[in-house]
Amino acid sequence: MTAITSAASAAGDPQIFENRFSRFYDELKWLYCELYQDNPYVMMHFQDLCDTIRTYYNDRNDLLKNSDLKREADPKWYCRNDLIGMMMYVNAFSQTLQGLSEKLDYLQECNVDYLHLMPLLSSPKGRSDGGYAVADFRSVQEEIGTMEDFARVTALCHSRGINICLDFVMNHTSEDHEWAKRARAGEREYQDRYFFFDSFDIPAMYEATCPQVFPTTAPGNFTWLDDCKKHVMTTFYPYQWDLNYHNPIVLNEMIYNMLFLANQGVDIIRLDAVPYIWKQLGTNCRNLAQVHTIVRIMRMVSEIVCPGVLLLGEVVMAPDKVAPYFGTPEKPECHMLYNVTTMASTWHTVATRDVSLLRRQLDIVASLPRSCVFQNYLRCHDDIGWGLDYDYLRWFSMEEAPHKKFLNDFFTGLFPDSFGRGELYNDDPRLRDARLCGTTASLCGIERYGFEGNRAGVDRAIRYDITLHAFMFSQSGIPVIYSGDEIGMLNDYSYKKDPDKVSDSRYLHRGDFRWDLAENRDKPDTVQGKLFPALLKLERIRMSHSVFNADVPFWTIDSWDSSVLVIVRENEEEKFIGIYNFCEYDKTAWINEDDGLYLDVMTGNEMEAKGVNVPAFGFFWLVRRK
């Protein structure tokens, strides 16, 4: 029997499903019945769930089942240092899914083996919030291809060792979804899948305790539907109708949608806005206990049907507040979570030149169990929200409202001699709570100094861009670059000419990929020729040193300079020291690691980890083998 035949035989063994199913059955039934204990048909719905997940397992192809078996045997496969991520919009990068399949050589050149494809499921043009208003979870946006094209791309990526991450919008559907259309037409069964009300009495009770997400562009949490004379809950935008998870049909159908996508070859399911999915009167409708029950149910279902698939939770809170979404070692929930607070704190540090808050955030992450795996990034498709630790910042006389104004002024170029060039999103003069948009390169100063023809300024901004990426690569977890950052793409102001985009300044950093600039990546005298090779080198160094594994302990140490951050990582094989200067002046990190010579892995020089002189906006990566 050949190895291929043997693997296929193992994948087709029906006992594999039965063993997984029996392992989780009791807890699955308990949690499901507890969640829907007031529903008289709870057991009917539970049996439907059990029967249908078996069908999805049977429909899963042998290649995916073999991948599941391999990852079951190696449960920490995603915790190692060899995962390098990139997130992108397919239409911006390659126009179509077929075009993406033709660009995989470039992605492999970028060391990418974790490809996060931003929302690409069917959504209405101009009313999609960047694809986050899904009209059909089983079809792809027409302009980029078909679901068959998507499955072919995932299979091709898998053949090259590239994992695929896809957003799964759990909280709501588009108003163009079939359920929403039938609800709008008056079908009670489908209205019960959302939150429909004849009068504003109950919505008013929700509004009394439920904060607004977008008070400027989408005020309130409900939308009046004049055609059917009803109010519907819309936490985000009026065209995104919140799903009612009090209805077990909703949970079941959304689980089936998740499994359908997993069977198309998705390796990482990004659970979008997961803290919002359970609504309860008298609460803020955020992070309720039932949310964790639902995520735990989804984790168990995935462990039964497709255990090689990871759940990535989008939970926009401080690291110590998001930790519950990992669950417990005995009853895990998400495999990974976004590290949004460290991202925001990084840009706060860029503006203030003071590492105190950033160091505090890193120390909090370091205090969490090493099983907590974060996805780290500098920029993503979304805005930068200034959800910082203001209780801590008040010790430095930084009050929330004026400090947010300072940060936004700095990065929009209003602050004197600021190098940042961005735009505000959801600017609310009343609340003074605007968020920030812009590419990494533009926020670092490459745009400003390039426009001014200041070559020294551009070089310094490139150095800062590289330093910020070096810092991100040395954090604990999986690093993810936003597509275009590797070639220093600047803000794309053309969105202002597009009627479907002009009202959403986040398109400032969602511009089409500049393939003309990518051609410069091997020309040393260009921005791309300086930035691209440096990031490749950082990635290769990271992949070649086990000290960057996600489960390796790390901590910060004093540099005795408020602008210099020092991170230490150490395992049984080696010790790493990362030193980062967030100031426009040369600085000295007054560290005194008296344990021998270290290798500066960027230059190949040996040096002591004592009194290290760090250039303006520069860094050192020092490694000592044991």
**CATH number for the domain that contains residue 226:** 3.90.400.10
pLDDT in tens, 213-235: 888 778 999 999 999 999 999 99
What pLDDT, on a 0 to 100 scale, did the predictor assign at position 320? Answer: 64
Order across the sheet with 605-614: list the strands: 554-557, 564-570, 574-581, 619-625, 587-600, 605-614
Our measurement of the distance from residue 24's CA atom to the centroid of its chain's CA atoms, rounded to an integer in Å, reads 28
Mean pLDDT over residues 487-513, rounded?
A: 95
- Residue ending a domain, choose from 222, 242, 262: 242
- 272 assigned to active site: yes
Mean pLDDT over residues 354-380, rounded?
A: 94
Report how far apart, in Å, the C-alpha atoms of 395 and of each of 67, 323, 352, 390, 399 are. 51, 26, 15, 9, 9
Q: Which residues pair with 129 in a beta bridge?
A: none
pLDDT over 60 at 1, yes or no: no
Select the more confidently predicted residue: 252 or 369: 252
Mean pLDDT over residues 540-564, rounded?
A: 97
What pLDDT, on a 0 to 100 scale, did the predictor assign at position 125? Answer: 87
Q: Does 596 map to a domain?
A: yes
Confidence of residue 4 (pLDDT cuts 50, 70, 90): very low
What pLDDT, on a 0 to 100 scale, did the predictor assign at position 9? Answer: 53
Q: Which residue range is the domain that position 234 belongs to?
A: 178-242
In the three-class reduction of DSSP (H, G, I as helix; E, B as strand; rest coil), residue 166 is classed as: strand
Q: Where are the alpha helices (DSSP H) in 368-399?
A: 390-393
Catalytic residue among 314, 382, 447, 492: 314
Q: Does 291 map to a domain?
A: no
Pairing of strands 587-600, 619-625: antiparallel
DSSP string, 525-572: TSHHHHHHHHHHHHHHHHHT-GGGSTTS-EEEE--SSTTEEEEEEE-S
Per-residue DSSP letter, 243: B
CATH number of the domain that 567 lies in?
Answer: 2.60.40.1180
pLDDT in tens, 101-158: 999 999 999 999 999 999 999 999 888 888 999 999 999 999 999 999 999 999 999 9
Q: Does 369 map to a domain?
A: no
Report how far apart, in Å, the C-alpha atoms of 378 and of each of 171, 339, 486 are. 25, 10, 12
Count up the domains in the chain and report the number: 2
What pLDDT, on a 0 to 100 scale, did the predictor assign at position 437? Answer: 97
Per-residue DSSP letter, 513: P
Mean pLDDT over residues 332-360, rounded?
A: 96
Percent of the chain with pLDDT over 90: 91
Q: Does 496 map to a domain?
A: no
Q: CA triplet 586, 578, 602: central angle to 5 degrees?
A: 80
Q: Model-level pTM?
A: 0.94
Q: Does 276 map to a domain?
A: no
- Residue ending a domain, choose from 211, 227, 242: 242
Q: Does 565 map to a domain?
A: yes
Catalytic residue among 129, 242, 267, 272: 272
Mean pLDDT over residues 481-488, rounded?
A: 98
- 226 assigned to active site: no
Q: Does 467 map to a domain?
A: no
Residue with the two structure tokens 């594999």:
16
Confidence of residue 5 (pLDDT cuts 50, 70, 90): very low
Q: What is the mean pLDDT of the chain?
A: 95
Q: Does 300 map to a domain?
A: no
pLDDT in tens, 256-275: 999 999 999 999 999 999 99
Query: Where is 443: in which H helix or E strand?
Result: helix 440-444
Sign of the CA dihedral running 365, 366, 367, 371: positive
Q: b/e string for 171-200 if b means 16 or more Cβ within 10 A?
A: bbbbbbbebbeebbeeeeebbbbbbbbeee
Nearest to 537 by CA among 600, 609, 580, 588: 600
What pLDDT, on a 0 to 100 scale, did the predictor assign at position 319? Answer: 62
- Residue ending a domain, choose from 225, 242, 259: 242
